[in-house]
Structure 1
Amino acid sequence: MSEVIMNNLISPVVLFFILGILAAIFKSDLKFPNGLSEALSIYLLIAIGIKGGIELSHYSMESVRGPILATFFLGGVIPFITLFILKFIKMDFKNSIGLAATYGSVSIVTYGAAISFLGKNNISYEGFVNALVVLMESPAILVSLFLLKLAEKNKESAQVPSQVIGIIPTSLRLIDKEVIRESIFGKSILLLVGSLLIGWVLGDRAVPMVKPLFMDLYNSVLILFLLNMGLVAGQRLPEVKKHGVKLLLFGLLSPILFGTIGVFVGTYEGMSLGGATLMGVLAGSASYIAAPAALKTSVPEASPSIYLGLSLGVTFPFNLIVGIPLYFEIAKFIQ
């Protein structure tokens, strides 16, 4: 196990991430232009989406139905487990919802690093898993916001009698159109789903055009992105410390719990060692792109310093250094 972690630790993507953290801690003047940071995010979203679509075109829907349902299951159940755990930490409800959405969703970059880890160790995996990344982005966000609206409506109904607008009671108008729009048509989901559909429709016909940029250069661009993420994570670390040891432990231990559940679910669905590992990565990672974007407009009372600081400052580096090889070892043990 220690050898696997060490091999992962000395990979270029992890070392450049650590370099970014050190630059932030020692207050270096290193920084990425906003435009470049945005461009790198867009690149990774398109690359993962289109590769997933191309791979998905090689499979019948019958063969991927089980893993797809498993993905929706993970995206739906993790928010409930998160809220249950945070109830014992005595976290307020709005911030608990923020963490439920964040930890139920996925980290695209952690997934990308896991692919690099498997490639370095010559471990194969089902190509359709790239498509599962896209499918797991939205369920947790929608479930978490649904629970928030449900709680708010129940609180209102205890004070004011239910009113009817047209034929729909206000108590049933749980998620407004803006929430749905943010969750489905936000930048991250739009690029991932759009790229996935394009890759799925075109299949191998798209490879000659997309391979030079979105496949051959993927790992090199990932290094640049992780250097920038290291800078951001290093800046967020002090914010996490302000919220106490219990929250810090949640950021370190919950990925192990969720990742283990993901590995078991992947193994139950008959996925390979690499595929089950990636299911663990999907379940154990936390979003810092799609979920925060939705939370910013839908739950403004939730503090970004908590959900973004914890996901980016604690869980992301933990997964990058320890989590990915740990999920691999758990999958290997189970299989």
Structure 2
Amino acid sequence: MNPIDPIILFFLLGLIAGLARAELRLPAAIYDFVSILLLLAIGLKGGIELAKQPFGDLLPQILAVLAMGFALPLVAYPVLRHLGRFQRADAASIAAHYGSVSVGTYAVAVAYFGTREIFFEAHMPLLLVVLEVPAILVGIVLARGMSRETRWGAVMHEVFLGKGIVLLLGGLLIGWIAGPEGVVSIKPLFFDLFKGILAIFLLEMGLITAAQIGSLRQYGLFLLSFGMLMPVGSALIGALLGWALGLSMGGTAVLATLAASASYIAVPAAMRVSVPEANPTLSLTASLGITFPFNVLIGVPLYHAMAERVHAFLGA
């Protein structure tokens, strides 16, 4: 039996402390600093590997993952609208969260597979960036239609110039331009300390998650069920796509994890601008209060097993 990864224990510490209302909270500046380091580290790692392979070889995967990003919110929306009986704006907003991705969940997956020395394709950070955008656009159209009143300029600014995208893309470009030898001097901070940075990040995420869980009393069993079942269904789509694209078993598992994750940074900012009538508490309760802890504690190993089954059943 594998021991529990310490980074998961950090998340549990934050979650328990938050639920117990302990006097524990990271200063906002420290949380921002840790987030910046995490995003840059993920981007740098991907950029270094991108420098080793022609971009044209990755184009079919990018297009396929882009299509998945458009499809996932279209799957979630009718479930939320007709079974959950959410208002149109709320259903569209929640669906957009579940079509986009969580950098925190991806970082946990990277640590999980790294600890077990399971290979996965190093260009996954590029696919992470690709998946940030399409669900936001679909969510806006689902909520408002192709309305002239939609502030597309402001939305595009939030999407493409938000902190997460800028740091991930910036890290990718720096790693790609500098290459393995060029980043040697910054390796101790961004690579050697990656799991330590992630542990502090997850401690704060545990505290934030505890603050969202209280909303479940108001929104009930459906949101709880959706927040756990939707990621599993999305992960299966991601795993099947990963196999179809010829990814390794580890790469398939990471893509399944990306599909299963739900945004709690980029999408809320974009929805705030373009669909202000949507209730952000609903979306954050689902994505951050339910899906994020589910993925951190149960999901990543589950998606790993799912990828193994898909490769075994369909053939490597």
In the superposition, the TM-score normalised over structure 1's length comes to 0.89
Give the distance between the partners of 1:130 and 1:230, measured in 2 at CA.
Answer: 24
Maintained 8 Å contact 1:138/1:189: no
Bigger mean CA offset, 224-233 vs 173-182: 173-182
Name 1:224's counterpart in structure 2.
200
1:1-335 to structure 2, matched below 5 A, reads 7=2, 10-87=4-81, 88-150=83-145, 153=147, 170=148, 176-335=152-311
Q: Which amino acid aligns with 2:229?
A: L
Q: Which amino acid aligns with 1:19?
A: L
Give the secondary structure class of the aligned counterpart of 2:118: coil
Maintained 8 Å contact 1:146/1:175: no
> What is the count of residue pairs matched by the alignment?
310
Give the distance between the partners of 2:59 and 2:151, measured in 1 at CA.
Answer: 28
Give the distance between the partners of 1:266 and 1:226, measured in 2 at CA.
Answer: 27
Maintained 8 Å contact 1:110/1:285: yes
Maintained 8 Å contact 2:93/2:143: no
Maintained 8 Å contact 1:18/1:230: yes
Give the distance between the partners of 2:115 and 2:52, measured in 1 at CA.
Answer: 24
Q: Which amino acid aligns with 1:186?
A: G
Give the distance between the partners of 1:213 and 1:136, measured in 2 at CA.
Answer: 27
Give the secondary structure class of the aligned counterpart of 1:242: helix
Q: Which amino acid aligns with 2:193?
A: L
Give the distance between the partners of 2:286 and 2:263, measured in 1 at CA.
Answer: 10
Give the distance between the partners of 1:317 and 1:225, measured in 2 at CA.
Answer: 13
Unaligned runs of 5+ in 1: 154-169
Give the secondary structure class of the aligned counterpart of 1:301: coil
Give the distance between the partners of 2:139 and 2:25, measured in 1 at CA.
Answer: 34
Q: Which amino acid aligns with 1:80?
A: L
CA RMSD of aligned residues (A): 1.5
Give the distance between the partners of 1:251 and 1:206, measured in 2 at CA.
Answer: 42
Give the secondary structure class of the aligned counterpart of 1:244: helix
- Deviations 1:186-206 (CA, angstroms, capped at 9, x unpaired): 111111112212222222243
Q: Which amino acid aligns with 2:128?
A: V
Q: State the Cα distance separating 1:146 from its structure 2 match.
A: 3.0
Give the distance between the partners of 2:182 and 2:62, measured in 1 at CA.
Answer: 24
Q: Which amino acid aligns with 2:77?
A: L
Maintained 8 Å contact 1:21/1:234: yes
Give the distance between the partners of 2:74 and 2:218, measured in 1 at CA.
Answer: 25
- Deviations 1:57-92 (CA, angstroms, capped at 9, x unpaired): 111123212221122012111110110211221111
Moved over 3 A (4+): none
